Every structure is written in C-alpha cells, then in structure tokens.
Amino acid sequence: MGLSLGIACCVLIALFVKDEWTFDTFHTKADRIYRVYAREDYGKDEKFFYTTTPFPMGPALKDNFAEVENQVRINNIGSPVKVGENLFNEQITIGGQDFFELFDFEIVNGNREALREQSGIVLTQATAKKYFGETDPINKTISIQLDTTFEEFTVKAVTANLPTNSSIQFEVLISDLNYPKLYNPRVLTSAWFDINPRNLCAAKRRY
C-alpha cells in the first residue's frame, strides 16, 4: 500500500512538473516572445511591480526598438453578447492585429487574418458550438456591447480549444482596432500611469 501510494504521488508530481515546464512552449516563436512588465520606483517603500502595462507601451516599443518585430496588446472586458435571440454575458478578449503572427493557436476553420478587420471575431470550438450548434459559424453575425452600443461582428475564424498549458486563454477574441470605441485617445496614446492590458512582443533574433 505504501509503495503504491508513493509511486502514485511521484507520477502525479511528475505530470504536474511536466505541465508547468511546458507552459507556452507550443508556440514556434516561444524563445522570441517576451512579456512586458512595469516597475515603478518612487523611493524607499514606494516600489510597485505590475504584470500589466499601459496601453501606449506596445506601440512605443515597436516604434523605438528595431529588435521588436511585432507587438500585441491583450485585454479582457466583460460584455453582453447577442447571438440571434439569445443573450450571453461573456469575457471578451481583445488582441492585437499580429496576434496570430506571434501565437500558434490552431485555426480549424477560417483564416489567421481575422483580427486585421475591426469587425472580425474569432471563437474557440467550444464557444462556436455553444452559439451555433453544429452549423458552420464562419460569416455568422454576433453582436457585442462595446461601451453603451451593440456592435456587429462577423465570425472569421474558429480555433481549436486552447491547451491548458497556455498562459493566454480566450473564448471570444476581437481586434484591438476596437479600442477607440472603448477608451479615449489620451488613454491609448499617452496615459503611461494607466496600467491595464498585457503587452507581449516578439523580438527579432540577433545574428
């Protein structure tokens, strides 16, 4: 009994460690993707560390550092979603237009250019089935409330359900081209002390 219990514990620990060590390694550019953090230092006992960054950070890095090939801002909002006569309360993920340039989430239907369009939307297989059953969801219309107005989006891609060892999780994904509908220009371009989205950047290799 003791030996069996010990072996079972070792197997479970090994599986846990393997899962932890394989986080995000399925991305082919994993060794070139960096998550940006924010650290504020105002002197003794006034040092703050954030795992999120201001909206202007991603574009500023890409504009000022030649090594930065792509930048992606990722943010989540809670919002009502209408599909036909059905209303859902969902967490909407907003991703940069280069999202699928950085991350290798499997597209099972549609194309990887979905976030190049303001009205494009990406669903996981589970969410597509929840909204449309077994019907092909591509080019179907979904309405999402952004600020106070419902905006129409067209399903352009469906991904496989995301692996559990991914630090990025989403069910409904839209483009950051929709940020101006949610935030004023100052927040997006110059509010360096407004900590909100995550910024992830893929940097070019140095040879």
Determine the pLDDT at residue 19: 64
Region 13-19: what's the mean pLDDT? 71
Determine the pLDDT at residue 207: 42
- For 8-74, the DSSP string reads HHHHHHHHHHHHHHTTTTTSTTGGGEEEE-EEEE-STT-EEEESS-BTTHHHHHHHH-TTEEEEEEE
Which residue, 49, 130, 24, 145, is CA-closest to 92? Answer: 145
Determine the pLDDT at residue 195: 77
* Cross-strand bridge partners of residue 73: 199
pTM assigned to the model:
0.87
Sorted by sequence, the CB contacts under 8 Å of residue 102 that are 6+ apart come out as: 27, 29, 33, 70, 72, 200, 202
Region 41-45: what's the mean pLDDT? 83
Percent of the chain at pLDDT exceeding 90? 62
pLDDT tens-place string over residues 51-74: 888 899 999 999 999 889 999 999
Q: Does 34 or 199 have the greater pLDDT score?
A: 34
Determine the pLDDT at residue 47: 84
pLDDT tens-place string over residues 91-130: 999 999 999 999 999 999 999 999 999 999 999 999 999 9
At 109, is the secondary structure helix, strand, or coil?
strand
Sorted by sequence, the CB contacts under 8 Å of residue 202 that are 6+ apart come out as: 29, 32, 33, 34, 68, 69, 70, 98, 101, 102
Task: Label each residue of 153-177 as H, E or C.
Answer: EEEEEEECCCCCCCCCCCCEEEEHH
